[in-house]
Chains A and B, each alone.
Chain A
Amino acid sequence: MSFEPSESVTDAREGLLTSQLLGSAAALLRFCLVTAGTFLGLLAITFFIGRVVPIDPVLAVVGDRASNEVYEAARQAMGLDRPLVIQFFSYVGDVFTGNLGMSISTGRPVAEDLGRFFPATLEMATIGILIGVLLGVPMGVLAATRQGTWIDQLIRVLGLLGYSVPAFWLGLVGLAVFYAGLGWVAGPGRIDIFYDGIVDPVTGLYLIDSVVAGEWDIFWNALDHLMLPASILGFFSLAYIARMTRSFMLDQLGHEYVTTARVKGVPERRVIWRHAFYPIRIQLITVIGLSYAALLEGSVMIETVFSWPGIGNYLTSALLNADMNAVLGATLVIGAVFILINKISDVLYRILDPRARK
């Protein structure tokens, strides 16, 4: 048991670094394999839903008003006479080449539709997560530092509500109150009709595109339309993030090194943020990632209520039109993004935590 760090600490640390890199490479490989496996599983499930579940998968794709010729052509095209396994492989191949079939309601390739509608969902979910983080984290910290007070109870109730309130209902109520009642925000849709199509879709994100084009009127209008749906998503996000932050902070505040900081006379604000909060910021990244993924899922309902031209709305319209290709295509894309965000959040945590890098 020596007192001083040995001279070979540097050597040891260098050796450790190399083995860490190798370990990281192996871990990266493992990550890719696991994620690929999960994607394959997702494909299997969508394939299963599309081909195996419906009694007549061809009907599911062409709709029951299709003529005989269309039916037969589709049947041939879908290769339903081949063994199931072969069908699956050709399905996977199709997906990887971007062929998700044709949508019977829009008449365009599903992949093209999804590309057009994705930015709208992305824009809304991103503003939503920003609200969730900027409000949720401080609320969680506040609840933890004032544990037992009415503030704590209020924030806990908010957390529970985020879990018990139907998103579509909140959307409707929000529209009634903030749009029709108070007139604080614009109504359904992404932008007012007379602004539609003026700005070049560079990114597909109206906020960015309008600023790039210098059209500030359009920017504010787009923001006006974004505010309510994004806020509702933001509400659910902040409820979850606040709950998790509170839980982490309560753990932290019980740690001895927080007391040490107080013993040193460190101001309370610094004790809370630099000593208690700082170590959990990495876990919070995972939480935020999970919330972001959940928002993508939640946007399905919100988009339907707000007639927002995003993937969620596309999915629900396709459902109502029994447009199976579109349904499965949208499910695939949303599912894939969901899985990706979850897995990345997982991995990010392990990479960033200094204690895990021993």
Chain B
Amino acid sequence: MIDWLLDDSPASRLQANLGRAWRVFAALLRNLLAVVGGYIILVLIVMAIFAPLIAPYSPIGQDLANRLMPPSAAHWMGTDELGRDIYSRVVYGARITLMIVTMVAVIAAPIGLIVGAVSGYFGGWTDRVLMGVTDIFLSMPKLILALAFVAALGPGIENAIIAIAITAWPAYARIARAETITFRDAEFIAAVRLQGASSARVILRHVLPLCASSTIIRVTLDMAGIILTAAGLGFLGLGAQPPLPEWGAMISRGRNFILDQWWVATMPGFAIILVSLGFCFLGDGLRDVLDPKQGDKQ
């Protein structure tokens, strides 16, 4: 199987693509930090999917007799002010976090990619107008902008996702444009055009796939920032609404008890830090593998 994947003369496109994916994967495995990061993300995904099986208690079931209990064998991360098990809430919160980052990536990355690819491919006024708009968004503080959008749209997890996505897409546009410019005058593009391909087809089938790897790197590295922004919104009460166990909102609830029952606020924070670090490690590793000239000095 591995020989088939590593075959130097792949017989089909599928084989070539799978082979390339395998090589990237194998290279990643050699980087310890990337492996750690990947493992953390995997745990996140598993926790999100199998939350009902993993969490020992219900995330919203109240148990006022047991409120504000410190971490113990029964409650690994203690209980909050309504007696809910924090560990279970953190596990269920993984679903929310995963959903937010996935949705933001799914919305922002394609938009950014297309804007950047179109801008870089056509050049001229299209480029100037699109990049002007992109630059305006890029110059602004992302958190503040997201806050303002959520203020107008109203609190809620969907609005939070939209607001964050609005601030996230410009970076991808910039990257896609820079990539597109490096090969838009290449001969293979000219060849496809001479065969009668429309611009749409050229962009969709040739330009976009080539921009994919740098976009993937950037999206992964951005995840930490997106998680933090989402948590910030949650902390301010603008994201997922109670009783949903969103990590940022949990920290906000725990704020009142920070002095004596520190675990209520700090435990979700550790989860945030761990997941963010995981994405950072993975993103760094991906960057080293897919784009060595931009890699950090080792």
Contacts and interface: CB of A to CB of B under 8 A. Distances in A.
A339 B139 contact: yes
Contact of A319 (B137, B145, B238, B281): B238
Nearest to B233: A319
Given A42-B140, A297-B143, A54 B152 contact: yes
Interface stretch (A110-118, A119-127, A171-179, A218-226): A171-179
A41 B137 CA distance: 8
B59 interface: no
Nearest to A343: B139
User: Which one of A44, A60, A165 has the highest number of Cβ atoms from chain B below 10 Å of its Cβ?
Assistant: A165
A179 to B, nearest CB: 9
B152 A169 contact: no
Contacts, number: 150
B152 A293 contact: no
B71 interface: no
Contacts of B140: 42, 45, 335, 338-339
Contact of B236 (A38, A316, A342): A316
Interface stretch (B62-70, B81-89, B266-274): B266-274
A147 B297 contact: yes
B192 interface: no
B124 to A, nearest CB: 18
Interface size grouping (class) on chain A: 35 or more
Nearest to A319: B151
A228 interface: no
A300 interface: yes
B273 A172 contact: no
Contacts of B251: 166, 168-169, 172
A334 B258 contact: no
Given A38-B136, A338-B139, A163 B236 contact: no
Contacts of B228: 164, 166-167
Interface stretch (A77-85, A262-270, A324-332, A347-355): A324-332
A50 interface: yes
A241 interface: no
A331 B145 contact: yes
B280 A334 contact: no
B235 A301 contact: yes
A158 interface: no
Given A163-B224, A296-B141, A315-B147, A168 B153 contact: no
Closest 7 CB pairs of A and B: A41-B136, A164-B276, A169-B269, A53-B152, A297-B141, A250-B297, A331-B148
19 contacts: A41-B139, A44-B136, A53-B153, A54-B153, A60-B152, A164-B272, A164-B276, A165-B269, A166-B228, A169-B251, A172-B258, A172-B269, A176-B258, A300-B144, A301-B235, A319-B150, A328-B148, A334-B144, A339-B139
Interface of B: 132-133, 135-137, 139-145, 147-153, 224-225, 228, 231-232, 235-238, 248, 251, 254-255, 258-259, 262, 265-266, 269, 272-273, 276-277, 280-281, 296-297
Interface of A: 37-38, 41-42, 44-46, 49-50, 53-54, 60, 147, 160-161, 163-169, 172-173, 175-176, 180, 247, 250, 293-294, 296-298, 300-301, 304-305, 315-316, 318-320, 322, 324, 327-328, 331, 334-335, 338-339, 342-343
